[in-house]
């Protein structure tokens, strides 16, 4: 599903990723870990082509990411759901509208949008709060909305950039379970975290980064 071959990336001559190669198979759940500045976020950004890379090759769902030009990027991104540490919810929309927005963007059939958005919220246990605005929710709840939004288009890959970074351990564990649920439904998950608790609890394959290099791997499925 995701293949990286000798990928290099630098910012103003400062290396951010050095000679990264790995393969993540379809349906896998992989943690990407490492201290701050190790290159976790950069690595994820390469996968959904928010950043370009200097050398090497990145294949995502059979698409050669480096060869995509700007006007075709949507073809890649529609296979990927992304969840961020800061949720990136639109404050002026209700949480149902926030989830529906992702459906509108991909041109989903109008009649189905409301129902699908509601169902996605139900899957994260928030359908009863569908008319609330993001600011009225706790951090954990906001992250659940972000997960619902990332999953509503049934992406093949779910990328998470420190999704539990702002949450307490109980909430983090709840969020992790949501990702595991999505993974059980067949979505390939790449979960970046520096939290040892999450890593221990998850017990999935791990890619550990240190100063932009792969320092360690643990059963990359």
Partner 1 sequence: MNILKTTLSNIKSNKQLFFASVGTITTALSILGLFLFVYINLNSVLSFWNDQVQLIVYLDDEISSDEKKQLEKLFSSSSEVDSFRFVSREQAWEKFQLMFSEKSSFLKGMGFNPLPASYNLKIKPLPERLKSIQSLAEKLSQEGGVESVEYGEEWINRFETFMILMRVFLLALGALLCLGAVLIIANTVKLSVLSRKNEIELMLLTGATPGFIKFPFFLEGIFHGILGALISLSLMKGVHLYLVSRFQGSIETFGRGMDFQFIPMSFVMVIMLTSLLMGWLGSYLSLQQFLGAYKKL
Task: Using CB under 8 A, list all residues that contact partner 1.
Answer: 48, 50-52, 70-71, 73-78, 80, 82, 88, 90, 101-102, 104-107, 153
Quote the least distance from Cβ 190 to partner 1, whole Å.
Answer: 15
Nearer to partner 1, 86 or 216 (CB): 86
CB of 50 to partner 1, least distance (A): 6
CB of 105 to partner 1, least distance (A): 4
* Beta carbon of residue 200, minimum distance to partner 1 (angstroms, whole number): 30
Between CA 200 and CA 198 the distance in angstroms is 5
- In 12-104 the beta strands, taken as DSSP E runs, fall at 14-24, 29-33, 55-60, 63-64, 80-84
Query: Would you say 79 or 204 has its CB closer to partner 1?
Result: 79
């Amino acid at each position: 599903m995701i293949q990286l071959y000798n990928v290099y990336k630098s910012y103003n001559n400062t290396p951010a990723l050095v000679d990264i190669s790995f393969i993540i198979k379809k349906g896998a759940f992989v943690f990407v870990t490492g201290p701050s500045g190790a290159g976790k976020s950069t690595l994820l950004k390469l996968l959904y082509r928010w950043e370009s890379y200097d050398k090497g090759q990145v294949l995502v769902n059979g698409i050669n990411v480096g060869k995509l030009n700007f006007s075709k990027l949507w073809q890649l991104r529609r296979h990927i759901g992304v969840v961020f540490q800061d949720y990136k919810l639109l404050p002026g929309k209700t949480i149902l509208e926030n989830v529906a927005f992702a459906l509108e963007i991909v041109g989903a059939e109008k009649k189905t949008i409301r129902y699908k958005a509601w169902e996605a919220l139900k899957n994260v246990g928030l359908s009863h709060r569908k008319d609330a605005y993001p600011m009225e929710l706790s951090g954990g709840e906001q992250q659940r909305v972000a997960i619902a939004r990332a999953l509503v288009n049934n992406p093949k890959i779910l990328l998470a950039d420190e999704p539990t970074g702002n949450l307490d351990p109980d909430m983090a564990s709840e969020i992790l379970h949501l990702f595991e649920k999505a993974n059980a439904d067949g979505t390939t998950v790449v979960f970046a975290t520096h939290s040892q608790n999450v890593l221990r609890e998850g017990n999935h394959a791990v890619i550990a980064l240190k100063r932009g290099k792969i320092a360690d791997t643990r059963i990359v499925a």
